[in-house]
Structure 1
Amino acid sequence: MLTIEDIREARACIAGTLSATPILTEPNFSSTLAQRVLLKCELFQNTGSFKPRGGLNWIGTASDAELRRGLGAVSAGNHALGLAWAAQSAGVDVTIVMPEGASEFKVQGSRELGAEVILHGDINDAWALMHRLVEERGLTLVHPYDDLRIIAGQGTVGLEILEQAPEAATIVCPVGGGGLLAGIGVAARALRPDIRIIGVEPEGAASMQAAWAHQGPYRLNSVETHAKSLGAAIVGEHTYALCRHHVDALVTVSEAGILQATQHLLTQTKLFAEPGAAVGIAALLENRLPDPLPAGDIVVVITGGNMGLDELTTLLLC
C-alpha cells in the first residue's frame, strides 16, 4: 500500500518542474457559513489540472524498458494532457484513447503536445481498445488513476493543503477513478489523523460509491454527467482500498447542482473551472456534506479548468 514516504518522494521527484498551486478564500460561502471555505486551485497547475503531478512522477520513476515501448493511456482528457506533457519533456511517445464525446479542447491540446489521440466509443469501449493496443503494439499502460506512482504524485496535493491551510478540518475532493482522493487521503491521514476527508461524485457517475456498496470495484454500465472528467465507469483496486481506508464519507451531487456550481465559480469566484472541478462547490450548494462538520476550515479541491469556449457556451445556456 501507499505510504506518506512514497508521497514525499513523489514531491521531491516533481518539485523541480511543478510549483505548488495557491489556496484562495471563497468569500461567498465563508460569509454565510460559520466556517471559512478555502479553494485549492489545481486549475492553475501546468496543463490546467492536477494530473501532471502523477504523470511526471510516473515518468520520473519509470524504467528505460517501460519508456522505450511507448506509453498508452485511456482518458477523458486531463490525464491525457498531463501525461502527454510529461512524456513530451522526456521524449517518449504516448498514445491516448478517449471516448468519442471527449472535450475537443482536451483532444486538440493533447495532440498539440505530441500525443496520438484515438477517439473510440464510450469509456468502456475506449478501455477495450487500449487493452488491444497494449497487446498489439507492446505499449506500457499508464493507468489514469489505479497506479501507485500516479496516486503518489496526486497525493502531493494533500501535502500542500496541510502546509497552506494549517487550520483545515475538512477536505472535500472530487472523485472520478479515485486517484486524487486516495493520494490526498494517504497524505492527510498520516499527518493529520483527525481531519475529515469527503469525496464528491456526480449522481450519474458514482463509481466509488458503487465500489463501497459492492465491497470492491464495480463497473457501471454507463456514465451520464456533465462532469466528464469524473466519468470513470469503474474505480481501481488500489484507489478503492485506499479510499475505503482513509476517506470518511462519499456524497453525490445532481447535474443541476454541478451546472449551478460551475456557473458560481465562473461568475462569483471568478475561476474558470470545468464542471468536474465544481462538484465540491455543488455539495455545498446542495447541502450534501455530512452534518455536523468539525470546527475549522473547509478546503475544497478545484481540480481543473480545461474547457473550450463551446463547452462554456453550452453551460451558460443550461
Structure 2
Amino acid sequence: MLDYSLVAEAADRLKKRIRRTELIHSHPFSERCGLPVYFKCENLQRTGSFKIRGALNFMTAQPREKLERGVITASAGNHAQGVAFSADLLGVKAVVYMPETTPPQKVFSTRDYGAEVVLTGRNFDEAFAAARKAEQERGALFVHPFDDPLVMAGQGTIGLEILHDLHDVANILVPIGGGGLIAGIARAVKEMRPGVRIIGVEAQAAPSMHFSLLQGRIMETPLAVSLADGIAVKRVGKNTFPVVQELVDEVVLVEEEAIAQAIVALLEKTKLLVEGAGAVTLAALLSGAASGLSGKTVCLLSGGNIDVKTISVVVERGLLAAGRYLKLRVQLDDVPGSLAKLATEIAAAKANISIITHDRRSKSLPIGKTEVLVELETRGYEHIQEVIGYLERVGYEIEVLK
C-alpha cells in the first residue's frame, strides 16, 4: 500500500544521494500554449532519468542481508541504469534483463555502471518474464520497475519538489508506463494540494492505463513500436492501478508524430535533449490532447536517454511533421539545363535544397525524360503549399513523397 509517509521517508533517504532537478519556466512554450508552462527536468537526473529515485529508495530501505545475493531486474533501459547505479553505490551485484530491441546507448550505460546485462525478448514484458524466472534460480532480490510501494514512493519525491518550487502549480502532466511514476507523484501531491490536477500521458501505441481505466480493471493491451519505448508496457501494475484510479484526474494519449515534434521542439527552443517517453507530456500540450487547462502547468520530462541513431530519425520525422521538410519527385525533359532550371525555380520559391538525386536510367521513365528526387528545407505548411503551387504554375508535374 502506497502511503504518503513512504514518500516523506523516501525524500529523507534520497536527499543527499540524487540530484534535485531543476524546474524551468519556458517562455516560448508558455506563449505557444497560452498558459504558464514549466519543465521538471528529470532528463538531467543522475543516470539521465527519474528511475534512479525508485530503485535507490527500494534498495537503501532493505536490510543488508537481503542484498547479499545481489539484485535482479527487468527494464527497457532507464530503470536498468537506476538499479545498476544504485547497486554500484551500495556495493552489490546487479543483473539486468533488457529487451533485444533496447537502444544500444541504454545497454552500454547500464554496463558502464557495473551491471551484468542479459538481452532477451522482443519487448519489456518478455524480458520481465525472463528476469522473474532467473530471480528464482539465482536467489537474488527483485527490484520491480514500477509495481512496488517503495519504488513508487521514490518516484513520488518528484511531486514534493514541484510543490516546494512552485507553490501555486495548477496542473502536472506525467508520463505513464506501468504507473509507478504517476502513482507516486499523485500520492505526494494530492496529500498536500488536492486541488492540483494530475494528468497522465501515454503513447497511443501503448495505451494500457487508458484502456484499463475505461474498463475499470487492469487490461493487457497489444503494443506497437513507439518512440516512447520507455513507457511501452502491455500491462500496468496491480499496485499502481488503484492509486491512479483514485487520484489521477485524466489520462490522455498522444500520437507518434506529436512525440517526434515535441522532441525536436525541446531541442530547438530549450536546448534540452529528451527521449520519447519524456517528451509525451509536452506532446500532449502541443497536440491539444491535454486541453482546457489554466494556471501554472508542469510538464515532467522524465528522461533524456535517447540513442544517437534514434535522434537522427526523430529529428527528420519531427521536421517532416512540422512542415519543415518536403520531399518531391519531379520528371524533367532530358535536355541540358533542365536540372539547373528546376534548381532556379526552387530558389525562386524560397526553398532550400537539402538533397537532390538525378536518375536518367530508370526503366519506368518515358524516353526523353529524367527523374529528380529532391528534399527541401521549408518554413512550415503554408510555405510547403506555396512551393508546390509555384512549381505547378511554372509547369512542373510533381509528386509529394512521404
Q: TM-score, normalised by structure 2?
A: 0.77
Shift of 1:224: 2.4
Structure 2 counterpart SS, 1:212: helix
Shift of 1:296: 1.8
Hey, what does 2:356 align to over in structure 1? none
Hey, what does 1:86 align to over in structure 2? 86
* Bigger helix share: 1
* Cα distance in 2 for residues equivalent to 1:215 and 1:224: 26
Shift of 1:215: 2.3
* Cα distance in 2 for residues equivalent to 1:78 and 1:305: 9
- Residue by residue, what CA displacement relative to the aligned partner does 1:219-263 show, whole Å, maximum 9, x if unpaired? 223342111111122110111011111100000000011111111
Matching of residues 30-179 of structure 1 within 5 Å: 30-122=30-122, 123-179=124-180
- Residue by residue, what CA displacement relative to the aligned partner does 1:251-307 show, whole Å, maximum 9, x if unpaired? 00000111111111111221011111000111111101142x2x4200110001112
* Cα distance in 1 for residues equivalent to 2:33 and 2:128: 42
Hey, what does 2:23 align to over in structure 1? 23
Is residue 96–residue 116 contact of structure 1 (8 Å, CA) maintained in 2? yes
Is residue 29–residue 37 contact of structure 2 (8 Å, CA) maintained in 1? yes
* Cα distance in 2 for residues equivalent to 1:157 and 1:109: 23
Hey, what does 1:265 align to over in structure 2? 266
- Segment drifting more, 302-311 vs 62-71: 62-71
Structure 2 counterpart SS, 1:205: coil
Matched residue type, 1:316: V
Structure 2 counterpart SS, 1:89: helix
Q: Who wins on radius of gyration, i.e. which is larger? A: 2
Is residue 223–residue 232 contact of structure 1 (8 Å, CA) maintained in 2? no
* Cα distance in 2 for residues equivalent to 1:251 and 1:180: 16
- Gaps of at least 5 residues in structure 1 are none
Hey, what does 2:305 align to over in structure 1? 306
- Residue by residue, what CA displacement relative to the aligned partner does 1:60-107 show, whole Å, maximum 9, x if unpaired? 101223211211111000000011001101011111111111011010
Matched residue type, 1:245: E
- Gaps of at least 5 residues in structure 2 are 318-402
Structure 1 counterpart SS, 2:227: coil
Matched residue type, 1:189: K
Matched residue type, 2:242: A
Structure 1 counterpart SS, 2:205: helix
Structure 2 counterpart SS, 1:201: strand
Structure 2 counterpart SS, 1:197: strand
* Bigger strand share: 2
Hey, what does 2:314 align to over in structure 1? 315
Structure 1 runs (4+) deviating above 4 angstroms are: none
Structure 2 counterpart SS, 1:173: strand
* Cα distance in 1 for residues equivalent to 2:225 and 2:127: 16
Hey, what does 1:235 align to over in structure 2? 236
- Segment drifting more, 149-158 vs 210-219: 210-219
Shift of 1:112: 0.9
- Residue by residue, what CA displacement relative to the aligned partner does 1:31-85 show, whole Å, maximum 9, x if unpaired? 1344200000011111111111111111110122321121111100000001100
